[in-house]
Amino acid sequence: APSKNELLKNIALQVAFSGATACLAHVDQLHLHVANAGDCRVILGAQNPNGAWSALPLTRDHNAFNESEISRLKSEHPTSEGNTLLMNDRLLGVLMPSRAFGDVMFKWSQDLQQSILKNHCNLEDLNIYEYVPPCYHTPPYLTAEPEVTYHKIRRQDKFLVLASDGLWDMLSNEQVVQLVANHTVEDDVQKTQLTFKKPTSLGYVQDLLLRRKARTAQPCDQNVATHLIRHAIGANEYGEIDQEKLMAMLTLPDDLARMYRDDITVTVVYFNSDVIDSYYQEDEERS
């Protein structure tokens, strides 16, 4: 049996060769700082004076669709690698995010990787394989350095959604904000959702009845993060929960699940509007 020291080394090696993106938010009175590394995303839900909701992104996805990330990568590597840094919208043609923790096969030199891995004889048992990405000449290509943004919380800011890319692959920023808003004021929103134009055909009436049936059949999630995940993987074309689709997505074998959905992690933070108001009132009194 491996010693305790060997077990710790194996765990450390597995962590180093695994990959993870992350985002976090720090709230200090009206001051909100957000740090992001990778393709997680943080969205602010704000309610306008007329009652309408808007989504304000506080992060930028670090991937091949981010022009500033493309510029950063090109500035850190020789011009001769300009055509190979990003291939098929992936870092070195392999990795989707351009920033992440771990994934040392995109950070360590080949010599360093080989010197560490050669001392382990059970790499296959650890699900670690010696792999050199294509066009791997001037590492590191991947960084875990976060991008930090600041936002002063406003009176209309109501909640914050932090989630991994699995959620954003399925739902837009606006859909996520509306789902959280609907969950928060469920009764009022359901009334507005049931306001349709006057039916003009039998097909329209049937469609309307199907929507209403789906709405009454869907379970009420006490946890809003669960509510978002349920909609991300189980919603139909009308945005209503399809129980059969949901069950199918949740019961896929591990080797197939990744083809249909990514891992999804969601945190929703609600702001206390009364507390926010009190901070602004104090500022107004001082001025």
CB 138 within 8 A of CB 81: yes
How many whole angstroms separate alpha carbon 252 and alpha carbon 229?
16
* Per-residue pLDDT at 191: 42
* Per-residue pLDDT at 249: 87
- CA nearest 18: which of 105, 112, 111? 105
* Per-residue pLDDT at 171: 96
Q: Which residues contact 28 (CB under 8 A, 6 or more apart)?
A: none
1-40+60-153 architecture in CATH? Answer: 4-Layer Sandwich (3.60)
Describe the crossing of helices 173-184 and 186-193 by its angle, rounded to 10 degrees: 120
Q: Which residues contact 167 (CB under 8 A, 6 or more apart)?
A: 41, 176, 228, 229, 232, 264, 265, 266
Give the Å distances, CA to CA, from 24 to 43, 82, 208, 262, 266.
Answer: 12, 32, 41, 20, 12
Average pLDDT per 10 consecutive residues for the chain, totaling 287 residues:
78 90 97 98 97 97 97 97 96 97 95 84 72 92 98 98 96 97 67 48 71 58 93 88 86 81 93 96 86
Beta bridge partners of 54: 46
Which tokens hold the place of 70?
Answer: 């493309």
Per residue in 167-183, pLDDT tens? 999 999 999 999 999 99
Per residue in 255-273, pLDDT tens? 888 777 888 999 999 999 9
* Per-residue pLDDT at 232: 93
